Amino acid sequence: MVLLLDGNAVSQTVKRDLRQRVERLQQRGIYPGLGTLLVGDDPASARYVAGKHRDCAEVGIKSIRCDLPGDATTDDIITMVDRLNSDRSCTGFIVQLPLPKGTDTHAVIDRIDASKDADGMHPYNLGQLVLHVSGPISTPLPCTPRGVLELLDAYHIDLNGKKICVIGRGITIGRTIGLLLTRKECNATVTLCHTGTQDLHDEMKRADIIVSATGRPGIVRAEDVREGAILVDVGISRVQDKETGKWRISGDIDPSARTVAGAYTPNPGGVGPMTRAMLLTNVVEAAERQASGK
């Protein structure tokens, strides 16, 4: 029986725990708040931000929404980032990416107060992750890689000694998940594959776990997967059905690959809900550090 790794179900468990932690903080007069900064009117980004605020309502986190027009300059965006940095009601916040063409994205991200980095993608926080090969980390962790690990842990999947093939070198997960997987607490061996990898099929075939985040529908096929491997589908694409003409969401992993897998994440309904749950977790943890004076 192939095991479905249900991100929707696990994220609800995470949210129930967060709701209790938020209530305890509120009893002490501390009210966690998540800020979002959306620039422009991209429909996908707008839906994603709206989903984050619905998640906040579920666990009792205050929502702080900031919107700027698509023609906002880098200086305009940085000014809004500074406001969120100084807003005491904002425990953590995100700048929704991608930013409009011509924006200095790195300058914007660098301006975020690292202690309020709800995405866990600030250079300081990534540097702390690089430095801490083992033991507790008191800075925000990148949400998508953390969500993947939490999902695997919820199903008691042991990563110690496992060979993990990561496909895609984007900053959201490809370049960052290896930092978590190779910590001593996980102790996995990670191979990062990308467009320069000449033997991608062989790399996937050797892997105990495949994490694919390319945005290329069906790049992982049944013939690429060893019997019983675990498939983690992070890539998201919109594809048009040849018969109906309707558009639908597609992941990186072809459905046929599930027939030889030991476990897999659905897409949608797998890694996405876990990413959003980890965003809330980063906000609550920041509030808890604030409460303890750390």
Q: Which residues are catalytic?
A: 52, 96, 119
- Cβ atoms of residues 11 and 274 within 8 Å: yes
Is 169 annotated in a binding site? The answer is: yes
- Cβ atoms of residues 281 and 292 within 8 Å: no
DSSP state of 251: -
Is 170 annotated in a binding site? The answer is: yes
How many helices (H) and strands (E) in the chain?
A: 9, 11
Residue 181 and residue 270: Cα distance in Å, rounded? 19
Dihedral of the alpha carbons of 257, 238, 167, 3, in degrees to the nearest 10: -40
The CB density around residue 20, as the number of other CB atoms within 10 Å, is 12
User: How far, rounded to the nearest angstrom, does the alpha carbon of residue 252 sit from its chain's CA centroid?
Assistant: 16
Q: Is the peptide bond before 43 cis (omega within 30 degrees of 0)?
A: no
Is 168 annotated in a binding site? The answer is: yes
Give the three-state DSSP class for 184. coil
The contacts of residue 118 (CB under 8 Å, 6+ apart) are: 34, 35, 92, 93, 94, 140, 143, 279, 282, 283, 286
**What φ, ψ does residue 93 adopt, rounded to 5°?**
-150, 165
Indicate the residue type of 253: I
- Cβ atoms of residues 17 and 284 within 8 Å: no
